[in-house]
Structure 1
Amino acid sequence: MNTQAHLPSLVNAKNILNDPSSSGFTVLETLVIIIIVGILAAVGIPNWMTFVATRRLNTAQNEVYHAMRQAQTQATKDKLTWQASFREQNGIVQWAVHPATVNPSNANWNNLDANVRLDSETNFQASLSSVQEVRFDYRGNAKDLGRITLSSKSGGKAKRCVIVSTILGAMRTAKEHTRADDAKYCY
């Protein structure tokens, strides 16, 4: 075996490792990359936070809608008046579905996302314990018309509503509008 033949390639490898022009990124290149990443983060993070807040509102809106539908379904199934109840307890919006004869404080409460709040546009009748109540009679007809409006605790203009619009119990969902209608943005 001839070790002399491998010697020039080892010498070239050693010279390349010692050459400062080929040893990696310069300080200037590293700073440019850091600045570019910083600019992209400054532009992208607020958009990402808005996206996350909107997703949370959409999820909470779906939970509220399904709670109301569950109360309506149970009312027709059991031939009794059922209700969906909503409250804010310790900064957390909660919901419960139960017969109207059950005191809401004894109901099984479920939490919505901690970053969601009941908006001031919510206009269902509130009981003495500030529980918003949506009741359905034995035929599934709504005894109360109105809306549950949710917004983000972190602010922003995003709102999500679940609206009981007819006494027959028709429900729909809505989101914020850019113009108010009778001082309401979620209609």
Structure 2
Amino acid sequence: MSNKDTKKRFHPQQDAGFTLIEMLVVILMIGILAAIAAPSWLAFVNRQQVNKASDAVLAALQEAQSEAKNTKLSYSVSFQKNSANQDISVAIYSPNAYPTNAVPPRSLPWKLLGKDVGANSNQLLLGANLNSTNIVNTTSSVSYPASSPLATSASPPPSTITFDSTGALATSTSPSAPNFGTPVSPSTDPPGLKIVVAVPSSANSTSASSVKRCVIVKTLLGSILTAKDNQCS
């Protein structure tokens, strides 16, 4: 057997390779698969981000409620969205630390919402149905402030929930007893005090998409529950 025959027998694919057309077909297929998978992957990432942020909202409310019980002092949780960098921040504090009852928002211990669990809050919207501490607005609907009102305000921002020394909703910080809002048909239950985080709409970055998560304080005793999507409107 000649050397040439031996080479063909033991190395039959030595000169094999991909043609330009084959490479283009593979690249095209990869592009098609990526185009199909990208929206699903983006939706998954958005859900993960909004879940983390919602968990951080729940943890903040539970921490304030626990601190109120442990210290026998009222404790508040305030939320704001910075109009400059779009970060959502949370502050947990006792109003008793401000003897004049005028809580300067800029002096509150703000920290990024969900930073410790990897949430990128600047990619989300912050909403609430409150117009003052523990008071639901007249329409009971959730609004998404595009900017923070803290620059000139000398009182807690509207997105504030306060617990008294027993862990129940405080009444002394409000003009009247806590207001849980007007039931929205077909529900017969008041909506409760809602803090909402939402994925922005692809059509309008200042409007919420259908992907929402919320934490709701439902009773005078400070019962807290979570909900999602259309339950957070």
Query: How many Å separate the matches in 2 of 1:12 and 1:76?
Result: 84
Unaligned segments of structure 2, at least 5 residues: 98-102, 114-120, 134-148, 151-156, 171-177, 181-192, 203-208
Hey, what does 2:232 align to over in structure 1?
A: 186
Hey, what does 1:147 align to over in structure 2?
A: 194
**RMSD of aligned alpha carbons:** 2.5
TM-score by length of 2: 0.65
The higher-RCO structure (CA 8 Å, 6+ apart) is 2
Contact 2:54 2:214 in 1 (8 A): yes
Shift of 1:106: 1.8
Identity %: 30
Question: Kindly tell me: are residues 41 and 16 of structure 1, through their superposed partners in 2, closer, same or farther at Cα, counting changes over 3 Å?
Answer: closer
Q: Do residues 98 (structure 1) and 68 (structure 2) align?
A: no
Shift of 1:175: 0.2
Contact 1:115 1:154 in 2 (8 A): no
Question: Kindly tell me: are residues 70 and 7 of structure 1, through their superposed partners in 2, closer, same or farther at Cα, counting changes over 3 Å?
Answer: same
* Map 1:2-13 → 2, pairs under 5 A: 9-10=6-7
Question: Kindly tell me: are residues 11 and 74 of structure 1, through their superposed partners in 2, closer, same or farther at Cα, counting changes over 3 Å?
Answer: closer
Q: Secondary structure at the match of 2:59?
A: helix
Of structures 1 and 2, the larger Rg is shown by 1
Question: Kindly tell me: are residues 105 and 13 of structure 1, through their superposed partners in 2, closer, same or farther at Cα, counting changes over 3 Å?
Answer: same
Query: How many Å separate the matches in 2 of 1:32 and 1:5?
Result: 39
Shift of 1:27: 2.1
Q: Secondary structure at the match of 1:168?
A: coil
Query: How many Å separate the matches in 2 of 1:45 and 1:8?
Result: 50
Hey, what does 2:210 align to over in structure 1?
A: 157
Query: How many Å separate the matches in 2 of 1:15 and 1:79?
Result: 84
Q: Do residues 24 (structure 1) and 17 (structure 2) align?
A: yes
Contact 1:152 1:158 in 2 (8 A): yes
Hey, what does 1:69 align to over in structure 2?
A: 62
Shift of 1:168: 0.3
Q: Do residues 37 (structure 1) and 18 (structure 2) align?
A: no
Shift of 1:108: 1.7
Hey, what does 1:111 align to over in structure 2?
A: 112
Residue type of the partner of 2:40? N
Hey, what does 1:54 align to over in structure 2?
A: 47
Moved more, 74-83 or 84-93: 84-93
Query: How many Å separate the matches in 2 of 1:15 and 1:158?
Result: 57
Output one character per residue of 1:82-101: Cα deviation in whole Å (capped at 9) or x when no partner: 00110112311100111023
| Runs of 4+, deviation exceeding 2 Å | 4-18, 101-105, 124-131, 153-156
Output one character per residue of 1:1-27: Cα deviation in whole Å (capped at 9) or x when no partner: xxx997753476788645xxxx21122
Number of aligned residues: 171
